[in-house]
Chains A and B, each alone.
Chain A
Amino acid sequence: MKKYILVLFLVEILLVSGVFIALTAEAQAEPLTITWWHIQTAEGEKALWQGLADEYMAAHPNVTIEVLSLENENFKSKLTTVMLSGEPPDIFQSWGGGVMNEYAKAGLLLDITAYLDKDSWRDTFSPGALGVYSFEGKNYGVPRDMGMVGFWYNKDLFAKAGIDNPPTTWTELLKDVQILKDAGITPIAVGEGDKWPGAFWWEYLAVRIGGQAAFDAAYSRKGSFTDVPFIKAGEKLQELVAFKPFQSGFLGATWGDEATLMGSGEAAMDLMGQWAPGAFADNSVDKLGLGKKAGWFPFPAVEGGAGDPADALGGGNGFVIGINAPPEAVDFLKYISSVDSQIAQAKLGLSVPVIKGAEEGLIDPLLKIVQQGAAAAKYFQLYYDQAMPPAVGSVVNDSVQGLFAGTLTPEQASQAIDDSAAKEIK
């Protein structure tokens, strides 16, 4: 008897759940629904995007915008499964470059070149940044944020060690590293466990030593990643590593650890992108991070290098349009790429603007310097793991970690990267 009651109870639960679930299931889709996937999960930023979507929906009552906010890694996983089915979302986060190119090649993105040509929408963007979201002459998306990697340093710690001015050449940098070490200060913070922070070092060295010519040659396969500039970059990097300038355990450290060290004033320098100050603040006790103590200087010139010291390594964020998107999606994209939207984004520290006129939204004077540097660079190199196909980028990151660990020679690292490039870049 008791058993039957139990069974009845279980069946009842199932029934109730079933009804509940059916009730929460979605009704049929509206006539026009646009899906938008972004990776801003922080409250303020998420609210900014939702606000823009709400405004647009109010002005266009027949359009429904379904916004989905995902964390970075989860976003990549989910996008992979969706790409498998061939039905990407209408608007989604992109970093441009190699990954985006792959999607474009596979016919998963919408060509919006014509939209950009209309009404000079194209001209509102900084051309270098816009170029990152194009492939073979066609545009597939627009940028909202483009910055460059540079040195964020703690002015107080520099002063304590007796360094008056930031280094302008590689030799000076190495000298300063020694001075800091002698003063008992950790010269550089790097989260090499995550691999991409360390890759910046090698890539910038290659940019300084080989310039645009070296990368273009290697990428077009007329040259190779085993060419002299890249080997030299590896040698210079190992020269730095020999000084032991990093914090203890750097090989397993994460970007979060790196930001914490800087934010709490325990390391002097950090080669990082435009999101650094925000992260320093978030990861510090008083939420102020480096504040007034922060300084910024560009990657130093390398003596004898063929690159221009004003060349920039960097990247940013943007949105691309999925192949099945309706024209209203592009219209909405235009809406969120307005000057006002960019100014609001700049104020939040979400984006370093790419739309002319929006720079005034930047509050942090350092970010202004970053933005100017990025805009002025004649040669703007996208991070290697974004510029090249993802397989190659991953090999770059792995190989550079080998350079940091001393398990790979510069020749071996370059060879691994070139082997991968030979296979992937056709």
Chain B
Amino acid sequence: MSVNYSYRSRTLKKNLPRLFQYFVLSLVVLIVIVPIVMIVFGALKTRGEFMTRPYTPPIPPNWENYAKVLSMPIFWSMLRNSLLIMLATTIGVVLICSLTAFVFSRMKFRGQNLLFNFFTLGLMFPITIAILPVYLIVRQIGLTNNLWGVILVQTSFQLSICIAILRSFFKSVPYELQDAAYIDGCNTFGFFWRILLPLSRPALGAVASITMVTSWNDLLVPLVLIDKEKLWNLPLGTMQFQGQYGMDLALIAAFVTLSAVPAVIFYLFAERQIISGLTAGALKG
């Protein structure tokens, strides 16, 4: 603390890396944001305008597309279906994957590695081929044209990635904590529920975000399993505007921006979990 820098060069020295950081971040924001802004602008244009002049700001803005989408009753039913599917899938995935990842990261038993490799298969098999036999199974169980069919299938497909992520996070919780818990008379489930899970809020938040987004954007599973328009989710809704010989990009843009809004809101929720988790105090003493 007894440095003899002059005030000026000290603040400069302190701020330069910070300024550089802001510069880099702003650059990245620019690159990231261009396509998004284009879509947002596009939603405010007419179809022909969008096709021929995609980058100019819409002047005057054409709210017709948004109005059209919001006034379609099918948009709201798709929104509702997407919400139901997403909530159920996310809760299911987080619960099941926590249980599974816990076993693989905190307990030892024979054949553990083999079984874990088994669970990673979901990351390796293309979903576009898997969906065909899945359709046959779901049909046999009788869950076609039923949101539960979609939920079960989506949950199953998300298991691998979430188990992989949670397992690595659960492993990083120190063993001393587990020992302390057992010494205090906690049983395995108690440790899992009362200590591990709360400590892993960042990881759970990350897994929840990923699952929510994947479920929200899933087009393949509902397309294959559901024949009734009123059970469709939002991604299938963009179909409305894609004709056989061309698509109304402006309407699609409006539809897509409206669909993305809830997903971003959910992410904001989950993100709080990620940022707020702290292990401070757990190991003191």
Contacts and interface: CB of A to CB of B under 8 A. Distances in A.
B227 A74 contact: no
A34 B87 CA distance: 33
Contacts, number: 111
Interface residues of B, number: 43
B136 A72 contact: no
A256 interface: yes
Contacts of B228: 26, 66, 68
Contacts of B49: 285
A25 B148 CA distance: 10
A42 interface: yes
A124 interface: no
Contacts of B241: 41
B245 A25 contact: no
A165 interface: no
Chain A facing B: main interface SS: helix
Contacts of A68: 227-229
B contact patch SS: helix
A316 to B, nearest CB: 12
A3 B248 contact: no
B96 to A, nearest CB: 13
A81 B227 CA distance: 12
A255 B51 CA distance: 13
B231 interface: yes
B243 A41 contact: yes
B145 interface: yes
Given A24-B231, A78-B223, A70 B246 contact: no
Interface stretch (A106-114, A236-244, A274-282): A274-282
A85 B84 contact: no
A20 B136 CA distance: 25
Contact of A81 (B131, B229, B231): B131
Interface in B108-127: none
Contacts of A415: none
B242 interface: yes
A264 B224 contact: no
Given A72-B242, A256-B246, A285-B52, A77 B136 contact: no
Contact of B148 (A21, A84, A260, A279): A21
6 closest cross-chain pairs (CB), A and B: A285-B48, A71-B239, A71-B242, A81-B135, A275-B245, A21-B147
Interface of B: 46-49, 51-53, 84, 87-88, 91, 131-132, 135-136, 139, 145-148, 193-194, 198, 219-220, 223-224, 227-231, 236, 239-248
Interface of A: 3, 10, 13-14, 17-18, 20-21, 24-26, 35, 39-42, 66, 68-72, 74, 77-78, 80-82, 84-85, 255-256, 259-260, 263-264, 275, 278-279, 282-287
